[in-house]
Amino acid sequence: MKSIATLFLLLSGLIGHGQDYFALIKKNDQITYNYPSNVSITLIDAEGNRRPISKDDAFDVTGDYTVEIELPWKDGPEIVKSDGGRLELFILPEAEQQRRNAWYETRKSEEVTYNGKTYANPEALDAAMAAKPVAVKKTITKSDLNPGTYNLSLVFSNNLIVRYDSGKISAWQNGKTLNVKGNYLVQTLEGLLKLSFEPKTGETWWVFEI
């Protein structure tokens, strides 16, 4: 079998036996992925030759290469391709991971601001984002009054209903009529709905700003 690549022990001064490692993969000098220690990483060259990467390995290759990462929480492997560029893998020791985790723990207690609102910490922001309403039903029908165009009905998880009917749009939440501004902004109890609807094609786009 042909040699798949020349492997470089890039962090040999930090790597020692028996330590727990995690990996950073860089593509074209930009860090694109990082992985915990319980993943399986394989480097594949243009001929399909496969080389499993151990915890003592690191590499720096340029050309047609693929990195295959087996993740315990996914059914199939994650793939990173070089696309003819440069791929690097750094295996970092547990001490470096602990330093980064300590930095993150410090940041977790800091206030964060998103869309003009301040949250006590990143976890509070994550909780607010997770609570954003989602669409539970979307119906598009042909308009009887305006042939060649479509009508829209949207129902969201926060009891918000939005309807576009032959050029007229209306919205209500919990039975209360809401004001619709522009094309189209609806202020709900949970945040601002930004809705875009193209009646000629039925194309629909929306986002909630908390």
What is the structure's pLDDT at 208?
Answer: 86
What is the structure's pLDDT at 100?
Answer: 58
User: Is the distance from CB of 44 to CB of 68 less than 8 angstroms?
Assistant: yes
What is the structure's pLDDT at 172?
Answer: 96
What is the structure's pLDDT at 96?
Answer: 54
Angstrom distances, CA of residue 207 to CA of 82, 93, 126, 201 = 34, 41, 16, 19
Confirm whether 114 is domain-assigned: no
Question: Which residues 6+ apart lie within 8 Å of 150 measured at CB?
Answer: 140, 141, 142, 143, 199, 200, 201, 202
Enter the DSSP assignment of 56.
T
- Mark whether 27 and 95 lie in a shared domain: yes
Confirm whether 55 is domain-assigned: yes
Out of 100, 126, 161, pick the residue that ends a domain. 100
What is the structure's pLDDT at 187?
Answer: 95
How many Cα atoms occupy the beta-carbon half-sphere of 31 within 13 Å? 6
Closest CA to 184 of 163, 201, 202, 200: 163
- Mark whether 149 and 92 lie in a shared domain: no
Chunked in runs of 10, what are the mean pLDDT values of the chain (210 residues)? 35 36 73 74 91 79 90 82 84 59 66 75 74 87 93 94 95 95 92 92 87
CB atoms within 10 A of CB 117: 12
Out of 100, 125, 146, pick the residue that ends a domain. 100
Rounded to an integer, what distance in angstroms lies between the CA atom of residue 58 and that of residue 69? Answer: 14
Confirm whether 89 is domain-assigned: yes
- Mark whether 85 and 28 lie in a shared domain: yes
Confirm whether 32 is domain-assigned: yes
- Residue span of the structural domain in which 162 resides: 135-209
DSSP 11-42: TTTT--TT---EEEEEETTEEEEEE-TT-EEE
- Adjacency order of strands within the sheet including 176-178: 135-142, 150-156, 160-165, 168-173, 176-178
Report how many domains make up the chain. Answer: 2
Confirm whether 179 is domain-assigned: yes
Confirm whether 177 is domain-assigned: yes
Under DSSP, is residue 1 helix (H, G, I), strand (E, B) or coil? coil
Closest CA to 19 of 113, 92, 109: 92
Confirm whether 59 is domain-assigned: yes
Out of 100, 118, 147, pick the residue that ends a domain. 100
What pTM was estimated for this model as a whole?
Answer: 0.46
- Mark whether 96 and 143 lie in a shared domain: no
Confirm whether 47 is domain-assigned: yes
Question: Which residues 6+ apart lie within 8 Å of 6 measured at CB?
Answer: 61
